[in-house]
Amino acid sequence: MGYHDTMLALLFLACTPDVGDTDLDTTLGDTDTGGDTDTGGDTDTGEDTDTGEDSDTGSEGLRDIRDEMARNADACAIIGGHDDVPAAQQYYWGEFLGDETSGWTGDEAWYLFGNEAWYARGLEDCEIWFTVTAEVASKGACTGCDAGLIAEAVVDTDRTTCPASQYEGYETMTEPYAVELLGDGSVDWYFPGSGSYFGRGYWDASGMNYLADDGCTLPAD
């Protein structure tokens, strides 16, 4: 369970009872079936891709987990044993500001970093942005989590730089999350339906964020 009650009260004054898995549409690339899209590429190279050009810099006080987003140029170089398949390394990021009483508002983003074949096809690195609102929900199968929430996301075309075909069918989405707040100021994120871990971030009295490395993805068309 989470760290100390004083800080938890600021974020989660009350949690709904655990009523089991929530049957909801999935979002941001995870179908919560246990299927792993990680191709085995190691993205922890120490190369920081945060160039300061993000469409949104996040909360002023909350530590930005995107500072730890490192691009590995070789992560998607070989797909299915071939070096000529266009693909992009993908990260999912989200930030939720607020508390249990008023709910949370924030953003989620899908970052795509292409390989050489991706660029040769005329594609570029790009971002897909979503505006998010969330409220307290069930922790589901994550019995060790401190709270659950249900997020409603709507694509923000003004900030999105990827072609519309890349997010077709994901313009509006609903996703349940469960979180475990840790004493060092970090937070682990889970899918409550399966209880599976998918990412980590930071939390404070203003809210929380996450970053998830989800391996490689192919162009939409």
Domain boundaries, the chain: 5-29+60-77+84-217
Mean pLDDT, all residues of the chain: 79
Residues 6+ apart with CB under 8 A from 74: 41
Predicted confidence at residue 56, as pLDDT, reads: 52
Residues 6+ apart with CB under 8 A from 92: 28, 29, 108, 109, 110, 111, 199, 210, 211, 212, 214
pLDDT digit string, tens, across residues 52-111: 344 454 566 899 999 999 888 788 999 989 999 999 999 999 999 998 788 999 999 999
CB 118 within 8 A of CB 218: no
What is the percentage of the chain residues whose pLDDT exceeds 90? 64
Distance separating alpha carbons of residues 122 and 125, to the nearest angstrom: 10
Distance separating alpha carbons of residues 70 and 26, to the nearest angstrom: 26
pTM, to two decimals:
0.73
Give the burial string for 123-162 (b: 16+ CB within 10 Å, else e): bebbbbbbebebebbbbbbbeebbbbbbbebebbeebbeb
Q: In terms of pLDDT, which residue wins out, 188 or 36?
A: 188
